[in-house]
Amino acid sequence: MSNSFLIILGIIIPLFAALFSYVCRYNNNLRDSFGIIGGLITFVISLKIFHGIQNNEVYQITFFTLFDGVDFAFKVSALGSIFSLVASSLWILASIYTIGYMRGAGEKNQTRFVIFYSIAIHAALAIAWSGNLLVLFIFYEILTFSTFPLVGHKQNAESQSAGRLYLSILVGTSLIFFLPAIFWIWLKTGTLDFQDGGILMNKFPAEYLSFLIAMLVFGIGKAAIMPIHRWLPAAMVAPTPVSALLHAVAVVKAGVFSFLVVVVYIVGPDFLLQTKSSDWLVWLACFTIMASSIIAITKDDLKARLAYSTISQLSYIILGAALASSLALKGASFHIITHALGKITLFFCAGAIYVTAHIKKVSDLKGMGYKLPLIFFAYTLGALSIIGVPPFIGSWSKFYLIMGSIEREFIIVAIILGISSLLNIYYLLQPVVIGFTQNSKKEIKLIKAPLTVWPPLITGLGCFVFFFYANYFLNNISGVIVN
């Protein structure tokens, strides 16, 4: 198979999964199986591309020219190969989990759900492999629009207003800031292609670079930096498989991925380091990390707590990109993988608890640890990884980020990262503590939903196992950083 064909196949398979799900909409088992099959195929393709990138192979395909200097083209970068690998591998598990959750919770409109789920994955993969900033923007919008029906899935007043907030913030920021920023880059450089080392050096006035960075970081609303973070907690009204795969992995990671791509392949870390135009962003990211951690502590709803934790963790990646030193970028890129693995575990567990015991609140978890030992075990693994305890994979990315901030002589940032870890311990492990120490007086009827238990166990164990294989990913990541 030629390399360009591989890209087309990888991008189109989720669409076919959506199509087949629609065709087989009257046969529930068949309909839901396409997610798993599609996930498996795209995973194999992503893996092949991932290895190809390690061996310096080139994956690219150009379809047609949109306007001067901008083609509709895909080209896999090292960073993109990582993101696609994460999205496709977790899609398999999420598909299995979706079956268990949607049936266990008795949700309606399951066909529409699986269709838009697949389309969202399609958009995420296309973002990962996009060849220039405009193609990335196109699929960024498709991702927003395709996840809207998932957020508003319940079709009640609450989910409707959440859906509106979701859409208006994400589309609004992208049209007001992101697109004009893209035009600006195009007008200055005449191209939007991703190139190692960036395209702005010597072409873009250095004094306006901070302004451009601001337009980008606020325009890419999916990165959920404060004050553009409100959509993420709002989106939690969606069924948990959406929160798990999309709002812990595909959508938010598409956001931070877009920003990382801009820093690495458009602006160029060297240019950023020279001009120091992203130093202000370091502080904003730090603020977001701390503020959302503190808000997370106050949240009793488990999913809302995880949402604020996500906001905080996303800002780690923004922080790494803003520091722009090689170690920080390494940490930021790696954090895409580690956070995805850890957070999807936590969301899976939150959903599993909801399906089996109908509990949403942390304070209601009393004594549940003994009743749902496997789920709590998986949850603990995921939480430890996100906190950054060795030997869990999350410790690597935190390590690199702290090293990166010291490298740039931002000692306070390193301290803030440390404090944030302490806060993580508190709000992520509190549910576990409550679950095992306090006894509940209420009798709770448990429903069995094994398909929601196994996926978090797998990802949780993955957090542990991949700690020892971190180099496997880091090889590709070092390809990202050229300076």
Partner 1 sequence: MFDIFLDDAPALVVVLPLLISAIIAFMPSKIWPWIISIITLLLHLFLSLHLLKEISVSGLIIYEFGNWEPPWGISFKIDGVNIGLQLLFSIFVLVSTFYSRKIFLNEIDYRDSGKAYSLWLLAVGSLNGIILTNDIFNLFVFLEISALASISLIALGAGQNRKALLAAFNYLIIGAIGATFYVIGVGFAYAMTGTLNMNDLVIQLAQYSDGQLAIFAGMSFMLIGLMVKAAIFPVHIWLPPAYSYAPSAVSTLLAALATKTILYFFVRLLYEVFIIYPSYLRLFLDFVLYPLSLLAIFIGTVIAIYQDDIKKLLAFSSIAQIGYITLAFSLKDHSGVASGFVHIFNHALIKGGLFMAVGYFAILYKDRVTLNSLKGFGYKYPITSFALLICGLSLIGLPLTNGFISKLYLFQALYTNQMYLSIALVAVSSALAVVYFWKIVEQMWFSEIKFKSEKEDAYIYLPIWIVTISIIVFGIYSTPIIEFSNLSADYLISGYQN
Q: Which is nearer to partner 1, 161 or 274 (CB)?
A: 161
Candidates 64, 202, 441, 445: give the one binding partner 1 (CB under 8 A): 64
Candidates 27, 58, 69, 183: give the one binding partner 1 (CB under 8 A): 183
Q: How many residues does the chain have?
A: 483
Contact call for residue 149 and partner 1 (CB under 8 A): yes
How many residues bind partner 1, per CB under 8 A? 26
Contact call for residue 179 and partner 1 (CB under 8 A): yes
Query: In the stretch 368-407, what mask flags binding to partner 1 with x, by CB under 8 A?
Result: ----------------------------------------
**Least separation in angstroms between CB 80 and partner 1:** 19
Contact call for residue 26 and partner 1 (CB under 8 A): no
Q: What is residue 200's DSSP assignment?
A: -
| Partners of 193 in the β-ladder | 132
Report residue 199 as tokens: 């395209």
| Residues 105-134 contacting partner 1, CB under 8 A | 134
Candidates 9, 165, 176, 214: give the one binding partner 1 (CB under 8 A): 176
Q: Which range of residues in 64-72, 85-93, 270-278, 463-471 is near partner 1 by CB under 8 A?
A: 64-72
Q: Which is nearer to partner 1, 49 or 115 (CB)?
A: 115
Contact call for residue 482 and partner 1 (CB under 8 A): no
Q: What are phi and psi of 280, to 5 degrees?
A: -60, -35
Which residue type is seen at 303? K
Report residue 305 as tokens: 């707590």
What is the 3-state secondary structure of 317-361?
Answer: HHHHHHHCCHHHHHHHHHHHHHHHHHHHHHHHHHHHHHHHHCCCE
Q: What are phi and psi of 137, to 5 degrees?
A: -65, -45
Sign of CA dihedral 330, 5, 247, 374: negative
Tell me if 103 sits within 8 A of 450, measured CB to CB: no
Please measure the distance between the N-terminal and C-terminal CA atoms of the chain and give it in whole angstroms: 33
- State whether residue 203 is helix, strand or coil: coil
Candidates 9, 12, 19, 138: give the one binding partner 1 (CB under 8 A): 138
Calculate ∠ Cα 460-400-89, nearest 5°: 35
Contact call for residue 137 and partner 1 (CB under 8 A): yes
Contact call for residue 155 and partner 1 (CB under 8 A): yes
**Least separation in angstroms between CB 446 and partner 1:** 32
Binding-site ranges for partner 1 (CB under 8 A): 64, 66-67, 72, 134, 137-138, 141, 149, 152, 155, 160, 163-164, 167-168, 171-172, 175-177, 179-180, 183-184, 187
